[in-house]
Amino acid sequence: MITTAILVFVALLALFCLLWLAKAHASTSEALQNPAEHIHAVDVEAFRNLVDPEEEEFLRTNLRPAEFRRIQRERLRAAVEYVSCAAQNAAILLRLADAGRRSPDPATAEAAQKLVDNALRLRLYALHAIPRLYLGMILPGSRISSVGVAERYEQMTRQVVLLGCLQYPTRGVSAAL
């Protein structure tokens, strides 16, 4: 009986994951029609401030413990939003750059390949950072470093600008980032 319940649970979980992936793929495909409309602006400096250990220490020393925990949870929720937006932007740019890799112009193909690499790295960093940020919400005193997401996002943004300079149709994406 327990084995059956576990198998049903695993099957439902797998079905949920497949539906989620299909929805994500469909929304990314829709975003390729006009990517600038689907790109979310990410303020990298604000994100850095949210995950800055010195800022956290300043708050810890100047606030009561209960107030610090509440503020820190809010800050980490905002950081999760930034990371989620950056990961979604990376997914859109990944699909856009994938098409650019087939360009006959070698400079465009190389810039598109670098954008693919940076977008993949950013998505992996986001996959790693979001659980750590949620852990920080549960345990507000734990040290969390998600600055790597900011660096990857900035690298990815530079690659989008480079692709735009190479006359690849980024259609206003670099301005939206």
Give residue-wise pLDDT tens across range 94-136: 888 887 788 788 888 888 888 888 888 888 888 888 888 888 8
Q: How much is the pLDDT for 100?
A: 77
Residue-wise burial string across 28-60, b where 16 or more C-beta atoms lie within 10 A, e elsewhere = beebeeebeebbeebebeebbebbeeeebeeee
Question: Of 8 and 169, which is predicted with more confidence?
Answer: 8
Q: How much is the pLDDT for 167?
A: 47
- 86: pLDDT confidence band, cut at 50, 70 and 90? confident
Q: How much is the pLDDT for 109?
A: 82
Q: Is the pLDDT of residue 149 over 50?
A: yes
Q: How much is the pLDDT for 127?
A: 82
Q: How much is the pLDDT for 70?
A: 92
Distance (Å, whole) CA 92 – CA 174: 12
Domain ranges of the chain: 1-33, 35-176
Instruction: Give the DSSP letter string of 7-20.
Output: HHHHHHHHHHHHHH
pLDDT (tens digit per residue) in 26-78: 554 555 566 667 788 888 888 888 888 888 889 989 999 999 999 999 998 99
Cα–Cα nearest to 68, from 172, 140, 6: 140
- 24: pLDDT confidence band, cut at 50, 70 and 90? low
H or E stretch including 6?
helix 2-33
Q: Phi, psi (5° rounding) for residue 14?
A: -65, -40
